[in-house]
Protein backbone atom coordinates (compact mmCIF):
# COMPACT_ATOMS: atom_id res chain seq x y z
CA UNK A 1 0.00 0.00 0.00
CA UNK A 2 2.99 2.32 0.12
CA UNK A 3 5.99 3.31 -1.94
CA UNK A 4 8.92 0.88 -1.84
CA UNK A 5 11.73 1.57 0.58
CA UNK A 6 14.62 3.46 -1.09
CA UNK A 7 17.34 1.22 -2.49
CA UNK A 8 20.56 1.88 -4.34
CA UNK A 9 19.73 4.38 -7.05
CA UNK A 10 19.71 3.01 -10.57
CA UNK A 11 19.66 4.79 -13.93
CA UNK A 12 17.65 8.01 -14.17
CA UNK A 13 14.60 8.58 -16.35
CA UNK A 14 12.99 11.87 -17.32
CA UNK A 15 9.54 12.74 -15.99
CA UNK A 16 7.83 15.91 -17.21
CA UNK A 17 4.52 17.24 -15.91
CA UNK A 18 2.85 19.81 -18.14
CA UNK A 19 -0.53 21.56 -17.86
CA UNK A 20 -3.44 19.80 -19.52
CA UNK A 21 -4.86 22.53 -21.74
CA UNK A 22 -8.45 21.56 -22.42
CA UNK A 23 -10.36 24.77 -21.74
CA UNK A 24 -9.88 28.39 -20.74
CA UNK A 25 -10.38 27.54 -17.07
CA UNK A 26 -7.38 25.24 -16.82
CA UNK A 27 -4.90 26.23 -14.12
CA UNK A 28 -1.67 27.53 -15.64
CA UNK A 29 1.67 26.37 -14.26
CA UNK A 30 5.17 26.07 -15.66
CA UNK A 31 6.17 22.56 -16.80
CA UNK A 32 8.04 20.57 -14.16
CA UNK A 33 10.87 18.22 -15.18
CA UNK A 34 12.76 15.75 -13.02
CA UNK A 35 15.39 13.11 -13.73
CA UNK A 36 14.22 10.35 -11.39
CA UNK A 37 16.63 7.49 -10.56
CA UNK A 38 15.19 4.01 -10.19
CA UNK A 39 14.72 3.23 -6.51
CA UNK A 40 15.14 6.85 -5.37
CA UNK A 41 12.84 8.39 -2.70
CA UNK A 42 9.44 9.42 -4.09
CA UNK A 43 8.62 12.84 -5.47
CA UNK A 44 6.09 14.40 -3.10
CA UNK A 45 3.22 16.41 -4.54
CA UNK A 46 1.57 19.03 -2.36
CA UNK A 47 0.18 22.53 -2.00
CA UNK A 48 2.58 25.44 -2.44
CA UNK A 49 3.25 27.51 0.67
CA UNK A 50 5.22 30.71 0.17
CA UNK A 51 7.32 30.47 3.33
CA UNK A 52 10.64 30.75 1.52
CA UNK A 53 9.68 33.87 -0.41
CA UNK A 54 10.19 32.07 -3.72
CA UNK A 55 7.42 31.89 -6.28
CA UNK A 56 5.91 28.53 -7.16
CA UNK A 57 7.82 28.35 -10.46
CA UNK A 58 11.14 29.07 -8.77
CA UNK A 59 10.40 26.53 -6.03
CA UNK A 60 9.68 23.79 -8.60
CA UNK A 61 12.84 24.71 -10.53
CA UNK A 62 15.09 23.89 -7.56
CA UNK A 63 15.19 20.21 -8.49
CA UNK A 64 14.11 18.93 -5.09
CA UNK A 65 11.79 15.96 -4.51
CA UNK A 66 8.88 18.31 -3.79
CA UNK A 67 6.41 19.30 -6.52
CA UNK A 68 4.24 22.25 -5.50
CA UNK A 69 1.01 23.59 -6.98
CA UNK A 70 -0.65 26.83 -5.98
CA UNK A 71 -4.21 25.68 -5.41
CA UNK A 72 -6.22 25.24 -2.22
CA UNK A 73 -7.82 22.04 -3.52
CA UNK A 74 -4.38 20.38 -3.40
CA UNK A 75 -3.57 18.89 0.01
CA UNK A 76 -0.26 19.62 1.72
CA UNK A 77 0.68 15.94 1.26
CA UNK A 78 -1.44 15.03 -1.74
CA UNK A 79 0.35 12.25 -3.64
CA UNK A 80 3.74 10.84 -4.48
CA UNK A 81 5.46 9.52 -7.62
CA UNK A 82 8.45 7.19 -7.85
CA UNK A 83 10.36 5.15 -10.42
CA UNK A 84 11.06 1.42 -10.23
CA UNK A 85 13.27 -0.88 -12.25
CA UNK A 86 12.57 -0.89 -15.97
CA UNK A 87 11.72 2.84 -16.09
CA UNK A 88 8.29 2.21 -14.62
CA UNK A 89 6.72 5.17 -12.84
CA UNK A 90 4.03 4.80 -10.18
CA UNK A 91 1.73 7.18 -8.34
CA UNK A 92 -0.37 6.83 -5.22
CA UNK A 93 -2.68 9.13 -3.32
CA UNK A 94 -1.42 9.92 0.20
CA UNK A 95 -4.67 10.62 2.05
CA UNK A 96 -5.64 13.73 0.10
CA UNK A 97 -9.04 15.19 0.92
CA UNK A 98 -10.10 16.14 -2.61
CA UNK A 99 -8.68 13.14 -4.47
CA UNK A 100 -6.19 12.20 -7.17
CA UNK A 101 -7.57 11.16 -10.55
CA UNK A 102 -5.65 9.12 -13.12
CA UNK A 103 -7.29 9.20 -16.55
CA UNK A 104 -10.50 10.45 -14.87
CA UNK A 105 -10.59 7.59 -12.32
CA UNK A 106 -10.21 8.47 -8.63
CA UNK A 107 -7.45 6.48 -6.94
CA UNK A 108 -8.93 6.34 -3.43
CA UNK A 109 -11.62 7.71 -1.16
CA UNK A 110 -11.10 10.95 0.75
CA UNK A 111 -8.39 10.83 3.44
CA UNK A 112 -7.36 7.30 2.48
CA UNK A 113 -4.15 5.95 0.97
CA UNK A 114 -4.44 4.38 -2.46
CA UNK A 115 -2.56 1.45 -3.89
CA UNK A 116 0.18 2.24 -6.44
CA UNK A 117 -0.93 2.86 -10.03
CA UNK A 118 1.46 2.79 -12.97
CA UNK A 119 1.96 6.01 -14.94
CA UNK A 120 2.45 5.91 -18.70
CA UNK A 121 3.41 8.53 -21.24
CA UNK A 122 0.36 10.58 -22.21
CA UNK A 123 -1.65 9.84 -19.07
CA UNK A 124 -3.69 12.65 -17.53
CA UNK A 125 -3.61 13.44 -13.83
CA UNK A 126 -6.01 15.63 -11.88
CA UNK A 127 -5.34 16.86 -8.38
CA UNK A 128 -8.53 17.75 -6.53
CA UNK A 129 -11.77 19.11 -7.98
CA UNK A 130 -12.83 22.67 -8.74
CA UNK A 131 -14.17 24.52 -5.72
CA UNK A 132 -16.83 27.24 -6.10
CA UNK A 133 -16.85 26.57 -9.82
CA UNK A 134 -13.15 27.26 -10.18
CA UNK A 135 -13.82 30.95 -10.81
CA UNK A 136 -10.51 31.88 -9.16
CA UNK A 137 -7.15 30.24 -9.86
CA UNK A 138 -6.63 29.41 -6.19
CA UNK A 139 -9.76 27.19 -6.26
CA UNK A 140 -9.04 25.36 -9.52
CA UNK A 141 -8.05 21.73 -9.69
CA UNK A 142 -4.71 20.91 -11.30
CA UNK A 143 -4.92 19.04 -14.61
CA UNK A 144 -1.64 17.49 -15.70
CA UNK A 145 -0.40 15.61 -18.75
CA UNK A 146 2.39 13.14 -18.03
CA UNK A 147 5.38 12.90 -20.37
CA UNK A 148 7.77 9.99 -19.88
CA UNK A 149 10.73 9.05 -22.06
CA UNK A 150 10.54 12.04 -24.40
CA UNK A 151 14.17 13.09 -24.07
CA UNK A 152 14.67 12.48 -27.78
CA UNK A 153 12.40 15.42 -28.62
CA UNK A 154 14.81 17.88 -27.03
CA UNK A 155 17.64 17.05 -29.44
CA UNK A 156 18.12 16.69 -33.17
CA UNK A 157 16.40 13.61 -34.61
CA UNK A 158 15.30 12.35 -38.00
CA UNK A 159 11.84 13.93 -37.74
CA UNK A 160 12.72 17.49 -36.76
CA UNK A 161 15.85 17.50 -38.94
CA UNK A 162 13.73 16.60 -41.98
CA UNK A 163 11.20 19.29 -41.03
CA UNK A 164 13.97 21.92 -40.92
CA UNK A 165 15.22 20.88 -44.37
CA UNK A 166 11.69 21.11 -45.74
CA UNK A 167 11.28 24.56 -44.20
CA UNK A 168 14.45 25.79 -45.90
CA UNK A 169 13.27 24.27 -49.17
CA UNK A 170 10.14 26.44 -49.06
CA UNK A 171 12.29 29.49 -49.81
CA UNK A 172 13.60 27.82 -52.99
CA UNK A 173 10.52 26.82 -55.00
CA UNK A 174 12.59 26.60 -58.18
CA UNK A 175 14.88 23.99 -56.70
CA UNK A 176 11.93 21.98 -55.47
CA UNK A 177 10.23 21.97 -58.86
CA UNK A 178 13.44 21.06 -60.74
CA UNK A 179 13.16 17.51 -59.42
CA UNK A 180 9.98 17.00 -61.44
CA UNK A 181 11.08 18.90 -64.54
CA UNK A 182 10.83 15.75 -66.62
CA UNK A 183 7.20 15.31 -65.59
CA UNK A 184 4.13 17.36 -66.33
CA UNK A 185 4.55 20.71 -64.50
CA UNK A 186 1.96 21.46 -61.79
CA UNK A 187 -0.49 24.33 -62.21
CA UNK A 188 0.74 27.76 -61.15
CA UNK A 189 0.61 28.36 -57.40
CA UNK A 190 0.24 24.71 -56.41
CA UNK A 191 3.86 23.66 -55.83
CA UNK A 192 3.72 21.33 -52.82
CA UNK A 193 6.28 21.35 -50.05
CA UNK A 194 7.63 18.29 -48.28
CA UNK A 195 5.29 18.90 -45.33
CA UNK A 196 2.14 16.86 -44.87
CA UNK A 197 -1.34 18.31 -45.13
CA UNK A 198 -2.65 20.62 -42.42
CA UNK A 199 -4.48 18.33 -39.99
CA UNK A 200 -7.06 21.03 -39.20
CA UNK A 201 -8.39 21.96 -42.66
CA UNK A 202 -6.97 18.86 -44.44
CA UNK A 203 -5.65 21.00 -47.31
CA UNK A 204 -2.03 20.77 -48.41
CA UNK A 205 0.77 22.99 -47.16
CA UNK A 206 2.11 24.85 -50.19
CA UNK A 207 4.42 27.72 -51.02
CA UNK A 208 3.31 31.32 -50.31
CA UNK A 209 1.12 30.35 -47.35
CA UNK A 210 1.46 31.61 -43.77
CA UNK A 211 2.55 28.61 -41.72
CA UNK A 212 3.03 27.79 -38.06
CA UNK A 213 5.68 25.19 -37.22
CA UNK A 214 5.36 23.97 -33.65
CA UNK A 215 8.42 23.18 -31.48
CA UNK A 216 7.63 19.49 -32.04
CA UNK A 217 8.03 20.19 -35.81
CA UNK A 218 4.39 19.58 -36.78
CA UNK A 219 3.17 22.15 -39.30
CA UNK A 220 -0.19 23.91 -39.70
CA UNK A 221 -1.66 26.78 -41.63
CA UNK A 222 -1.38 29.81 -39.37
CA UNK A 223 -4.99 30.75 -40.11
CA UNK A 224 -6.14 27.30 -38.95
CA UNK A 225 -4.07 27.15 -35.76
CA UNK A 226 -4.50 30.81 -34.75
CA UNK A 227 -7.64 30.33 -32.56
CA UNK A 228 -5.80 27.69 -30.52
CA UNK A 229 -2.73 29.90 -30.17
CA UNK A 230 -4.75 32.87 -28.96
CA UNK A 231 -6.78 30.85 -26.46
CA UNK A 232 -3.87 29.67 -24.31
CA UNK A 233 -0.93 31.90 -25.33
CA UNK A 234 1.93 31.57 -24.48
CA UNK A 235 1.14 27.94 -23.63
CA UNK A 236 0.73 25.61 -26.61
CA UNK A 237 -0.27 21.96 -26.82
CA UNK A 238 0.19 20.38 -30.24
CA UNK A 239 -3.16 18.99 -31.48
CA UNK A 240 -1.32 16.08 -33.10
CA UNK A 241 1.14 14.81 -30.48
CA UNK A 242 0.02 16.82 -27.40
CA UNK A 243 3.57 18.02 -26.77
CA UNK A 244 3.46 21.09 -24.53
CA UNK A 245 5.60 24.14 -25.26
CA UNK A 246 6.05 27.71 -24.09
CA UNK A 247 5.87 29.93 -27.17
CA UNK A 248 7.71 32.76 -25.41
CA UNK A 249 10.64 30.62 -24.37
CA UNK A 250 14.06 31.97 -25.35
CA UNK A 251 15.13 30.73 -28.77
CA UNK A 252 18.51 29.69 -27.37
The mean pLDDT value for 121-149 works out to 88
Total-model pTM: 0.69
Model confidence at 223, pLDDT cuts 50, 70, 90, reads: very high
Gap between the Cα atoms of 69 and 141, Å rounded: 10
Highest mean pLDDT among 77-91, 129-143, 183-197: 77-91
The mean pLDDT value for 214-222 works out to 87
Gap between the Cα atoms of 159 and 153, Å rounded: 9
Highest mean pLDDT among 46-55, 87-96, 170-179: 87-96
Residue 209 per-residue DSSP state: S
Gap between the Cα atoms of 169 and 140, Å rounded: 46
Model confidence at 182, pLDDT cuts 50, 70, 90, reads: very low
Looking at residue 38, its pLDDT comes to: 92
On whether the CB atoms of residues 19 and 27 are closer than 8 A, the answer is: yes
- Of 131, 67, 126, the closest CA to residue 101 belongs to 126
Looking at residue 235, its pLDDT comes to: 83
Model confidence at 170, pLDDT cuts 50, 70, 90, reads: low
Looking at residue 49, its pLDDT comes to: 80
Calculate what percentage of the chain has a pLDDT beyond 70: 82
The mean pLDDT value for 106-114 works out to 94
- Of 223, 180, 187, the closest CA to residue 205 belongs to 223
Amino acid sequence: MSAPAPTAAGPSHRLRLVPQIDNRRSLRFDPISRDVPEGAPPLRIGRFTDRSGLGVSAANALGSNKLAFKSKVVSRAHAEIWCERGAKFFIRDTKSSSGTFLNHVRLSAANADSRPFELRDGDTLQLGVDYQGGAEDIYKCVRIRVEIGREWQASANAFNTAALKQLRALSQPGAASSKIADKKPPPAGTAKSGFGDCCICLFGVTIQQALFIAPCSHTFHYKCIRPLLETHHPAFSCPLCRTFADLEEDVE
